[in-house]
Amino acid sequence: MFVGVNYVLLFLLGFVAFYPFWNAAVISFNAGSDTMLGGITFWPREFTLSNYEVVFKDKRLIDGFIISVLRTVTGTALSIVATAIFAYSMTKRELMGRKLYMIMCIITMYFSGGLIPSYLLIRELGLMDSFWVMVIPGLISVWNMIIFRTFFKSIPQGLEESAHIDGASNWGVLFRIVFPLSGPVIATLALFTAVYHWNDWFAPSIYISNIDLLPIQTKLQQILNSNIMLEQMQNMDSAAQGRLNKMNAVTTKSLSMATMMVATVPILCVYPFVQKYFVKGVMIGSLKE
């Protein structure tokens, strides 16, 4: 009996978590004028692809999608490599001031300079209005460094000593021995980092004014908080506007949902490929020295 109750609770929890995403997908495939009447729940009443047609014909959104992909791939790769190198160095007992460095890193997890000092720092570094402003400031994560450090310390020292005897340098040991053994933790942290880069819209909205460099998440945020898409439709040529009016299928809300799906689905497709590493990778951070 209790097993059945548990299954019911799990089903209800899964439904509550999944339904908002499903409803957004349904609205994105439903005629906008019909959506305004309300009552759209599990299935589209008037199926249409007009919302996605408008989205994929908007060059600004396509450019934003490309920027998001480039940022996610570049930012994740550089962040994982830089954080792993930092974490590996922190496992070395011969590193002078290792405990002091660790204390300084942990302090940054609880205290920060705030938005204004960060803005002034970014400006003085010359990163304003550049692609790298979305990558370099978040290059190293202290939390990820601690997880990497914990995992690296679990690797038998004999492997590294044998490699050093064979003439390998610290760089050689890291990239030829430690990295290949760190598949689960790298996959898990790479996914978390990729999700952060893909979903972040706040930093570009502050540091970037060039619309061509804005990722799709920032543009989506602008769409959700303004009538930018509606204004775009009003500025369309008469032929295209007439076609949309004839189809009676596009509204600001339906276009927002379609844009949201385009911005969400790609990162969701990554999860199945790294799911098998989740349990082992996540548990690493819970181990004590």
Confidence (pLDDT) at 238: 45
Q: 239: pLDDT confidence band, cut at 50, 70 and 90?
A: very low
Tally of CA atoms within 13 A in the half-sphere of 272 that contains its CB: 4
How far does the chain reach from its first CA to its final CA, in angstroms?
41
Of all residues in the chain, the percent with pLDDT exceeding 90 is 14
The residue count of the chain comes to 289
Kindly report the pTM of this predicted structure: 0.77
Cβ-contact 170, 94 below 8 angstroms: no
Q: Which of 18-22, 224-228, 276-280 has the highest mean pLDDT?
A: 18-22
**Mean pLDDT (whole number) for 4-32:** 83
**Burial class of 169 by CB neighbour count within 10 A (0 to 12, 13 to 18, 19+):** exposed
**Mean pLDDT (whole number) for 254-279:** 76
Confidence (pLDDT) at 277: 64
**Mean pLDDT (whole number) for 218-239:** 60
Q: Which residues of 238-255 are buried (b: 16+ CB within 10 A; e: fewer)?
A: eeeeeebeebebbbbbbb
Place of tokens 């989740």: 278
Cβ-contact 164, 173 below 8 angstroms: yes
Confidence (pLDDT) at 245: 46
* Residues 215, 218: Cα–Cα separation, whole Å: 6
Of all residues in the chain, the percent with pLDDT exceeding 70 is 83
Reduce the DSSP state of residue 262 to 3 states and report it.
helix
Q: Considering only CA atoms, give the Rg of the chain.
A: 24
Pick 236 or 82 by higher pLDDT.
Answer: 82
Structure tokens at 289: 């020295």
* Residues 119, 169: Cα–Cα separation, whole Å: 39
Pick 32 or 212 by higher pLDDT.
Answer: 212
Cβ-contact 256, 163 below 8 angstroms: no
Reduce the DSSP state of residue 70 to 3 states and report it.
helix
Place of tokens 């402003």: 133
Give kind and range of the element (H or E) at residue 28: helix 2-28
Structure tokens at 143: 């939390």
Structure tokens at 6: 């548990």
Structure tokens at 117: 């000092």
Average pLDDT, the chain: 80
φ/ψ bin of 97: left (φ > 0), alpha (ψ from -120 to 50), beta (otherwise) = left
Tell me which of 105-109, 171-175, 187-191, 253-257 is least confident: 253-257
Give kind and range of the element (H or E) at residue 109: helix 98-110
Asked if residue 287 has pLDDT above 60, the reply is: no
Asked if residue 27 has pLDDT above 80, the reply is: yes
For 32-75, what is each residue's pLDDT tens digit? 777 777 777 888 888 888 888 887 887 888 888 899 999 999 99
